[in-house]
């Protein structure tokens, strides 16, 4: 890859709003920066409740919250399904390890979490106690997380349908993963009802724009999505288990089992990558692996640094939490990706900090009262500075890796 191509890739990283299937950050809810937002039709409907002191019951057809679309918002994804069918055609691709897929299918069929996502009255009671700015932050967390999970459901469901004839085993695994994602999305949407809101998933399916990614990019990004989701969930669960006074809302109690769904999904995508060695064994694979790691980590860090009140509300230091998740995800990813970023180099953290400061300035420009022309002129040098930092992070000496073997591991909290 030339320096110009690398620059373009690094700049484009900000557009990878890696939502569920492609946005690991969306796995734990995104904040939505206000700079340069384009409004969508409202999807989040407010519900009247005596417990809500914020507003009177809305009139029919009103009281909907406007959802804004930005570069960091969870997105919906589609891919080249014909290429997918060729990749998993057992007659064309002799390197497919069907025995591994058979074992994974049995694991998914077991459905360990079939009875896990059962709510109690504790949810509504806890939600009613959360008031003020923190209440809105929880609504945003549930909304973004639900959107991300639903995005994964749609992609996995379609892959399950399209691969039925080509490879029934792989197709069934995708269908079972869509089952998991639908379960997660429904559970999160029920959580929104505790705060007197509901996300219109039916309309979301039709109204949301879909971003096209080639199959190999789906593999890279979705693997990262599932593994980073695992590390976020298990870290929060363990933190709150040790510090129950911050257990503000019972959904976090479900994260220990929930994160195992994420882990299993990630293991499946690891198997998919192993079945396509051309995505792992050349110089292009190394460059793309680093690119997706960078886009995922940066997006998460920038998003979370815009919503530190959420993490502080549950007793976490946002930046320490994010670096822990990034480091552990990177170590896990190094078992399959041929190259990863050197995220444990202190310079990587310093670059992230500079990106946060630049992003704050971009948001401030967007929130100013100046006209759009002036705003855009002010954004140009800031966007260039952000792209420069992204490129510099991308060009840092990488860590050569990739054993393409599954590894048993017991994650530990490192801070």
- Phi, psi dihedrals of residue 210, rounded to the nearest 5°: -105, 135
The reported pLDDT for the residue numbered 2 is: 42
The predicted structure's pLDDT at residue 368 = 92
For residue 350, what pLDDT is reported? 97
What local confidence, expressed as pLDDT, does residue 14 receive? 40
Instruction: Give yes or no for residue 43 having a pLDDT over 80.
Output: no
| pLDDT, tens only, 71-115 | 445 568 889 999 999 999 988 887 688 899 999 999 999 999 999
For position 223, what pLDDT does the model report? 96
**What does the mean pLDDT of the chain come to?**
82
Q: What is the pLDDT of residues 234-264, one digit of tens each?
A: 999 999 999 999 999 999 999 999 999 999 9
Specify the CATH architecture of the domain 70-280.
Answer: Up-down Bundle (1.20)
Instruction: Report the percentage of the chain scoring pLDDT > 90.
Output: 68
Taking residues 275-293, what's their average pLDDT?
Answer: 94
Bridge partners of 340, per DSSP, are 399
pLDDT, residue 202, reads: 84
How does pLDDT run across 9-38, given as a tens digit for each residue? Answer: 443 444 433 333 334 334 433 333 333 333
The more confident residue out of 163 and 58 is 163
Q: Is the pLDDT assigned to residue 207 strictly greater than 60?
A: yes
Question: Can you say whether the dihedral through the CA atoms of 1, 217, 184, 329 is positive or negative?
Answer: negative
Write the pLDDT tens digit of every residue in 297-356. 999 999 999 999 999 999 999 999 999 999 999 999 999 999 999 999 999 999 999 999
Q: Which residues, in sequence order, are bridge partners of residue 87?
A: none
- Mean pLDDT within 404-415: 41
User: pLDDT at residue 66 above 90?
Assistant: no
* Residue whose structure tokens are 């293991």: 267
Given a contact cutoff of 8 angstroms between Cβ atoms, the answer to whether 112 and 260 are in contact is yes
With beta carbons less than 8 A apart as the criterion, state whether 320 and 313 touch.
no
């Amino acid at each position: 890859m030339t320096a110009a191509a690398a620059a373009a890739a690094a700049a484009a990283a900000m557009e990878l709003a890696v939502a569920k299937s492609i946005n690991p950050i969306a796995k734990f809810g995104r904040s939505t920066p206000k700079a340069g937002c384009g409004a969508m039709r409202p999807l989040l409907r407010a519900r009247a409740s005596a417990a809500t002191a914020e507003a009177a019951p809305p009139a029919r057809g009103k009281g909907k919250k406007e959802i804004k679309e930005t570069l960091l918002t969870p997105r919906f994804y589609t891919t080249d399904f014909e290429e997918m069918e060729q990749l998993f055609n057992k007659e064309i691709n002799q390197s497919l390890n069907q025995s591994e897929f058979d074992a994974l299918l049995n694991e998914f069929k077991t459905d360990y979490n079939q009875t896990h996502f059962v709510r109690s009255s504790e949810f509504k009671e806890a939600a009613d106690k959360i008031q003020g700015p923190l209440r809105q932050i929880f609504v945003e967390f549930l909304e973004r997380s639900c959107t991300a999970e639903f995005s994964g459901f749609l992609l996995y469901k379609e892959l399950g349908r399209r691969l039925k004839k080509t490879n029934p085993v792989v197709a069934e695994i995708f269908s079972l993963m869509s089952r998991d994602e639908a379960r997660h999305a429904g559970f999160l949407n029920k959580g929104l009802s505790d705060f007197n809101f509901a996300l219109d998933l039916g309309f979301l399916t039709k109204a949301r724009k879909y971003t096209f990614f080639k199959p190999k990019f789906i593999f890279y990004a979705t693997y990262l999505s599932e593994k980073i989701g695992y590390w976020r969930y298990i870290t929060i669960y363990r933190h709150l288990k040790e510090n129950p006074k911050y257990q503000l809302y019972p959904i976090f109690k479900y994260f220990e089992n929930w994160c195992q769904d994420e882990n299993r999904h990630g293991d499946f995508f690891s198997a998919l990558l192993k079945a396509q060695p051309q995505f792992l064994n050349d110089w292009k694979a190394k460059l793309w692996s680093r690119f997706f790691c960078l886009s995922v980590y940066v997006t998460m860090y920038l998003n979370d640094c815009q919503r530190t009140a959420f993490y502080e509300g549950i007793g976490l230091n946002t930046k320490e939490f994010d670096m822990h998740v990034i480091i552990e995800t990177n170590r896990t990813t190094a078992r399959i990706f041929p190259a990863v970023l050197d995220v444990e180099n202190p310079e990587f953290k310093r670059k992230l900090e500079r990106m946060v400061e630049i992003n704050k300035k971009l948001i401030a420009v967007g929130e100013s009262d100046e006209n759009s022309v002036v705003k855009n002129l002010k954004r140009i040098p800031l966007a260039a500075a952000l792209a420069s930092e992204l490129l510099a992070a991308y060009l840092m000496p990488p860590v050569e890796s990739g054993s393409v073997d599954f590894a048993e591991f017991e994650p530990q909290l490192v801070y």
